[in-house]
Amino acid sequence: MSDPLPIVTRFAPSPNGSLHLGHAYSAIVAHDLARAAGGRFLLRIEDIDGPRSRAELADEFRRDLEWLGLEWEEVPAQSTRLAIYEREAARLADDGLLYPCTCTRAQIRDLPLRTGEDGFEYPGSCRGRCAGSDGEAPAFRLDVDRAMESVGEVVWRDAKKGSVIADPRAFGDVVIVRRDLPASYHLAATLDDAADGITLVTRGRDLFESTHVHRVLQELLRLPVPEWHHHDLVLDDNGEKLAKRRGSPPLADRRRAGDDGLMLAEQLRLRTFEGGT
């Protein structure tokens, strides 16, 4: 019998806002799962979100993680990998799995659709014909029906739910290449997890649905298949998930105020921290 693969996890924050308690918890889960198995814990800065990405925030993240008592290996940030995204997206396009879409968010919002987890679900109205064109570079969407025909039934393994059949249809024809970038979150994260040798993808359960898309992309791009651990979310006093846009207090504020980061990390591990369940 061969030895099981060493566990490699990662924390992959986007430097478009400060880290809050929810991120701290996510980083600790990934760190501890790796450490418990004698594995590796990686930090990857997901900084392709154009002007919203700020280099000084990545430095702040490193100081926050250090303050929490975590140790990590840092792998190249997403902004260094744009050529790889471009090359792999071209492969999907060559296989006839992508189509251009120039619709604006507003135009898509006007279409009759169900609201999905990600804000809205896109029904594929632009397959073969865009609802609107403004002469700008298009985004490229995955033709999900064709993709599913090509991969057949694929399953993925979730630490809590066990075997899950990949069904990416909740997102409709998801964007693979953004109008302003050579990748979307889904393509970039999937390729990076493979390049970084991640064997256990840990992230909040709010990203559970995204995993269906990633699993199908792995199959289409012939990438190694990790396992997933979707952890519970840290909630605020109103039972809502913490979010940068709702102004959840930055970890950096507590750090600068002289709070004890190691103690906070312990509280998060025991889930007895203030303002969370």
Stretch that binds Zn ion, among 43-51, 103-111, 172-180, 242-250 (CB under 5 A): 103-111
Smallest gap from residue 102 Cβ to Zn ion (A):
6
The reply to whether 14 sits near ligand GLU by the rule CB under 6 A is yes
CA dist 125 → 101, 174, 210 (Å): 9, 12, 21
Q: Which does 101 bind (CB under 5 to 8 A by kind): ligand GLU, Zn ion, none?
A: Zn ion
Q: Out of ligand GLU, Zn ion, none, which partner does residue 192 contact, by CB within 5 to 8 A per kind?
A: none
Handedness of CA 234, 240, 242, 243 (dihedral sign): positive
Q: Is 18 in the site for ligand GLU (CB under 6 A)?
A: no
Q: Where in 122-151 is the site for Zn ion (CB under 5 A)?
A: 126, 130
Collapsed DSSP state (helix, strand, coil) of residue 164: strand
> Count of residues binding ligand GLU (CB under 6 A)?
7
Tokens 């970890």 sit on residue:
251
Residue number with CB closer to ligand GLU (10 or 254): 10
Q: Name the burial class of residue 223, with classes exposed (0-12), middle (13-18) and buried (19+) by CB atoms within 10 angstroms of its CB.
A: middle
Confirm or reject binding of residue 53 to ligand GLU (CB under 6 A). Answer: no
CB of 210 to ligand GLU, least distance (A): 7
CB of 270 to ligand GLU, least distance (A): 23
Q: Could you say whether residue 184 binds ligand GLU (CB under 6 A)?
A: no
Structure tokens given for 164: 């899950």
* CA-closest candidate to residue 103, choices 118, 125, 119, 120: 125
Q: Which of 37, 207, 221, 252 binds ligand GLU (CB under 6 A)?
A: 207
Rg (CA), the chain: 19
Question: Are the C-beta atoms of 115 and 147 separated by less than 8 Å?
Answer: no
Examine residue 81 and tell whether it contacts ligand GLU (CB under 6 A). no
Query: Could you say whether residue 64 binds ligand GLU (CB under 6 A)?
Result: no
Contact pattern for Zn ion over residues 82 through 101, marking x by CB under 5 A: -------------------x
Q: Is residue 173 close enough to count as binding ligand GLU by CB under 6 A?
A: no
DSSP state letters, 79-130: GG-HHHHHHHHHHHHHTT-EEEE---HHHHHHS-----TTS--B--TTTTS-
Pick the binder of ligand GLU from 12, 92, 108, 213 (CB under 6 A): 12
Tell me the Ramachandran region of residue 197: left when phi exceeds 0, alpha when psi lies from -120 to 50, beta otherwise.
left
Q: Using the rule CB under 6 A, give the single segment among 7-15, 69-77, 91-99, 102-110 that binds ligand GLU.
A: 7-15
Residue 46 within binding range of ligand GLU, rule CB under 6 A: yes
The residues that bridge with 175 in the sheet, in sequence order, are: 141
First to last CA, the chain: 42
Q: Give the residues lining the site for ligand GLU (CB under 6 A).
A: 12-14, 46, 189, 203, 207
